[in-house]
Amino acid sequence: MKINKRECRKFADPGLKMNRNHGLLHAEEVKYIVRTAVKNIGKKRLLVLYIYLREQAAAGNFKPVWTMFQSRTEYVTLCRREDGSTRWSAAAFCNLQRDYDFSRRCAFYMTGDEERVTKFCKRKVAKGFTSLYFLQSDISEKRQRERKLKKEKEIRERMKAVPALPRNIRKMIDREIMPHYLFYSYNRKRTDMEGFCSACKTEVLVTGVKHNEKGVCPACKAKVTFKSRGKRGMIIDRDTLQVIQRTSGNEIVVRFLKRYSQYGDERKPYISVYENARTFLSWDDTGKTSEECYYYSYGNRNSLTPWQPGSRPVFSRWQYSFEADQTGFLYEKNLDKVLKGSPWQYSQLKEFYLAEKEPLYAISYLVQYKRYPMLEYLVKLHLYRLAESVAFGNHYYSSDSGFNPNGKNLKEVLGFDKAHLPMLQRVNPGLGQMKLIKALIHANVELDEELLRWCGDYSISRPENILVPLKHMTPYKLVKYVNEQYARFCKKSPYQSSGYYQMEDILTDYRDYLCMSEGLELDLKNSFVLFPADLKKAHDKVNDVSDKEQALVYDRQIQKQFEEMNQQYHFVKYGFAVFLPHTAKEILEEGQNLHHCVGSYVKKVVKRESTILFVRKASEQSKSLCTVEIQNGELAQARCYGNQAPSPAVRRFLDVWEKEILHAPALAVAA
Ligand SMILES: [Zn+2]
C-alpha cells in the first residue's frame, strides 16, 4: 500500500513551537533544525520529519520548509515554497537541497528526535541521519532493480514476436555472401597444379593461375580467389547480412547477422554466424513510422535478456567498428511477403538490391522511401545511381543538379522531358552527371552516351572539364586519352607523392593544359600537342611561363572566349546590354571601377571555371554598372558598386535574360 499523500497533508505542519532560549536556534553552523514524530497516517505507521530553517525559527517563524513522510518501503516529501504554496518531491533526505553536505548542516531539536529515527530505521550500527540514509538507499536501489526488471521483461516480450530465422539462411550465406577460395600448390610450369575449392569442396587441377587472382572454379564455376598454398597466410573475412521479418500487423524488424570466417586449415575453416542487432520499424494508421533499435550485449549475465535498447556503443566515431557497422548484404528471398501490406510494399527495395547486390543500409532506404516515394519509379526505370543518391545520400537538392526527388511527375523529378528518358536509362547518371547533362544541353553539345556512361562510372561532374576538350576532339578520343593517362599515372597507394587519385583530377589538369595551350597559341591540330604523352609534365610546362607571357596568354584566352561565346550570351533589353569582356584588363578595370573583387576571377575565367559578364546601360557601354558570374550554366552572382545587389531595373533585365538566354529551352536531343 502506498503512502496516502492526501492524508499526509493533514500532518504537514503540527504547529510546534520552539523554545527561544534553545541553544540550537543561535548556532551559526546549523542551517536546518529537524523534529520528528511517528504517526499512523492512512492506516500506515510513518516516521515524519519536520525540517525548519534555523534562521526563520530564530525569528519566530515555526513553519517547516519540508515535511518528509517515511514508511518502511517508501518516502515522499512535501516542500513548502516561500509564498506558502506546496509541491511533492521524491528526493531522498540527503538530496533535498543541492548541497553535498546537507545532512551535516542539519541538527535534531532534541535527542528524542534522533532516537525516534534510529529506532524506526532499524540499522545495526548507524543512527540518526546515517540510519535514515541507509534505509533510503536500500529503498531506491530496490526501486531501480524493479524498474530495470520491468524494462527487461518488456524487452523479452518484444523479442518473443521475432520469428525464427529463415531455414535456408546458412546455405545462402555460404553460397552467396562468403568469399570462396581455390587453394593450389604452385609448380614452375603453372600447369595442372593441385587445388582444392572451398565452394564445392572438391579437388581440382588448375593451370596458369596466379596468387590472389580472381576467377572461377573449374568444377563448380563458383567465383573464387586463387591462393597459392605457399604464399597465403591466415585468411579472415567478415560481413554483415540484414534479414527483414514481420513481427506484427504494423511492424517489421531488421536483423543484423554477422559472419566471421577464418581459413587456417583450408578444409576446416572456422566460421561463426551470430546476430548482433535488431531494429524495429513500426507504423500507425496514418502511415507514420517509428524506429526502435536494440543491440546484443555480451557481458550482461545478470540481465533477463541480452538485448539492450539503443545503438551499440562504439569506442570512437572515427574508428571503424565491425560490430556497429550496419551496412551489409540483404536477404531478399522473403521481402515480397514481408513488405506486403506495409508502407514499403512498393518501395522496390528488393529490385534495387538485386541490381548490384552491393552492401547497403536497408533502413536508410526504407526511411528515405517514405520521404521520397519517387524512389519506386527511379528503381523501376533502372536509374539506380539516382535512386542510390536518394536512398543513401544526405543531399540538399539544389536546382542546378537538375534533379528534384520531390517532383510530382517524372519530368519534375528528372528536370528533363520524357523524350530523354531512354538515353538516361542507358547512361544511368548520378546526381553529378544530371548537372553535367544539363550543362551540355545548354552549350548545344551533342550528348554522347558512351562518354556520359564513362562520366557516371568515374563520378565526373564538372561541365567545363568535358566542354573544353570537346572543342578539340571527339568524345571517343577524349575518353581513350584520359583512360590511358589514368592507367599510367593513377596513384596506387596513398603514400605516392605524385599521381592522380581520380579521373576527374586528370580532366581538370587536361582542361587547364588546353586553356593555357590555346592562349599560348600552340598548334592543337598537332596530335603531339593535343595528346601529350605525359600530361602532368606538359601541364606544368605550359603553366610555367613568365608574368609577361602569362598576361598575354590570359588576354588571348579571354579574347577567344569573347569570340566563341559572346553570341550565346549577348542580349539587349529595357535599355540594358550584357556581354563578355574582351581582355583580362577589362575584368581588372571592372573590379576597380565597381570596388569589388572580380579582378581576382581572371584566372578562373581563363581556365573556364566561371564566366564573367558585364551588364551596362545600352547607351553607356563603356561605363561599369553590374558584373555577373555564371557557373555550370547558372547565374552564380550579380554584383554592383561595392558588392551591392543589382537595382530593381537591372534585376528585371537579368530575370528576362536568364529566362530567354541562359535557360533557353534545350534543343531536342536524339533519344
Ligand atoms: Zn568449386
Say yes or no to pLDDT of 320 above 90.
no
Domain boundary among 521, 544, 567: 544
What average pLDDT does the chain have?
89
Query: What is the identity of the amino acid at 457?
Result: D
What is the structure's pLDDT at 131? 94
Q: Are residues 510 and 637 in the same domain?
A: no
Q: Note whether residue 257 is domain-resident.
A: no
CA of 260 to the centre of ligand 1 (A): 21
| Partners of residue 40 on adjacent β-strands | 45
Say yes or no to pLDDT of 73 above 50.
yes
Q: Are residues 533 and 570 in the same domain?
A: no
CA distance 413 to 422: 15
Q: Are residues 562 and 488 in the same domain?
A: no
The number of C-alpha atoms within 13 Å of 528 and in the hemisphere containing its C-beta is 0
Q: Which three cell numbers stand for residue 556?
A: 588571348
Q: Which residue has the higher pLDDT, 71 or 397?
A: 71
Say yes or no to pLDDT of 668 above 50.
no
Q: Are residues 539 and 631 in the same domain?
A: no
CA of 238 to the centre of ligand 1 (A): 21
In the chain, what's the furthest Cα-to-Cα distance?
A: 114
Q: With a threshold of 0.85, does the pTM exceed it?
A: no
Q: Note whether residue 94 is domain-resident.
A: yes
CA distance 391 to 360: 10
CA of 355 to the centre of ligand 1 (A): 25
Say yes or no to pLDDT of 355 above 90.
yes
Closest to 466 in 3D by CA, of 155, 458, 495:
458
CA of 438 to the centre of ligand 1 (A): 48
Q: Are residues 485 and 569 in the same domain?
A: no
Total number of domains constituting the chain = 3
Q: Are residues 49 and 95 in the same domain?
A: yes
Domain boundary among 142, 167, 190: 142
Q: Note whether residue 291 is domain-resident.
A: no
Q: Are residues 506 and 581 in the same domain?
A: no
What is the structure's pLDDT at 669? 42
Q: Which residue has the higher pLDDT, 492 or 280?
A: 280
CA of 192 to the centre of ligand 1 (A): 16
511 neighbors 563 (Cβ within 8 angstroms): no
**Mind listing the pLDDT tens digit for each residue in 585-632?**
888 889 888 888 887 888 889 888 889 999 999 888 889 999 999 887
pLDDT band at 521 (very low <50, low <70, confident <90, very high): confident
CA of 217 to the centre of ligand 1 (A): 5
Domain boundary among 98, 119, 142: 142
pLDDT band at 494 (very low <50, low <70, confident <90, very high): low
Q: Are residues 32 and 136 in the same domain?
A: yes
Say yes or no to pLDDT of 665 above 70.
no
CA of 202 to the centre of ligand 1 (A): 6
Q: Note whether residue 337 is domain-resident.
A: no
Closest to 202 in 3D by CA, of 230, 228, 180, 173:
180
Q: Note whether residue 325 is domain-resident.
A: no
What is the structure's pLDDT at 406? 80
CA distance 406 to 403: 9
Domain region containing 24:
5-142
What is the structure's pLDDT at 345? 95
What is the structure's pLDDT at 289? 92
CA of 221 to the centre of ligand 1 (A): 6
What is the structure's pLDDT at 633? 75
CA of 195 to the centre of ligand 1 (A): 10
pLDDT band at 67 (very low <50, low <70, confident <90, very high): very high
Could you identify the residue written with the cell 593451370? 207
CA of 513 to the centre of ligand 1 (A): 51
* H helix and E strand count, the chain: 23, 22
Say yes or no to pLDDT of 396 above 70.
no
Q: Note whether residue 375 is domain-resident.
A: no
Q: Are residues 491 and 517 in the same domain?
A: yes
**Mind listing the pLDDT tens digit for each residue in 422-437?**
888 988 888 888 888 8
576 neighbors 618 (Cβ within 8 angstroms): yes
Q: Which residue has the higher pLDDT, 330 or 423?
A: 330
What is the structure's pLDDT at 204? 94
What is the structure's pLDDT at 78? 95
Q: Are residues 609 and 644 in the same domain?
A: yes
Say yes or no to pLDDT of 371 above 50.
yes
What is the structure's pLDDT at 671? 35
* Residue 615 backbone phi and psi in degrees, to 5: -105, 125
What is the structure's pLDDT at 145? 92
As to burial, measured by CB atoms within 10 angstroms (0-12 exposed, 13-18 middle, 19+ buried), residue 587 is: buried
Q: Note whether residue 175 is domain-resident.
A: no
For the chain, the helix, strand and coil percentages under 3-state DSSP, each to the nearest 5: 40, 20, 40
CA of 200 to the centre of ligand 1 (A): 4
CA of 178 to the centre of ligand 1 (A): 13
270 neighbors 264 (Cβ within 8 angstroms): yes
In the chain, what percentage of residues exceed pLDDT 90?
A: 49
Q: What is the mean pLDDT of residues 1-17?
A: 89
What is the structure's pLDDT at 667? 47
Query: What is the identity of the amino acid at 58?
Result: A
Q: Pairing mode, if any, of strands 106-108 and 32-41?
A: parallel
Q: Are residues 504 and 626 in the same domain?
A: no
pLDDT band at 670 (very low <50, low <70, confident <90, very high): very low
The number of C-alpha atoms within 13 Å of 259 and in the hemisphere containing its C-beta is 23
As to burial, measured by CB atoms within 10 angstroms (0-12 exposed, 13-18 middle, 19+ buried), residue 141 is: exposed
CA of 209 to the centre of ligand 1 (A): 15
**Mind listing the pLDDT tens digit for each residue in 207-265?**
999 999 999 999 999 899 999 998 988 999 999 999 999 999 999 999 999 999 999 89
What is the structure's pLDDT at 420? 84
Is residue 226 classed as helix, strand or coil in its secondary structure?
strand
Say yes or no to pLDDT of 397 above 60.
no
Q: Note whether residue 499 is domain-resident.
A: yes
What is the structure's pLDDT at 224? 93
107 neighbors 30 (Cβ within 8 angstroms): yes
Q: Are residues 114 and 66 in the same domain?
A: yes
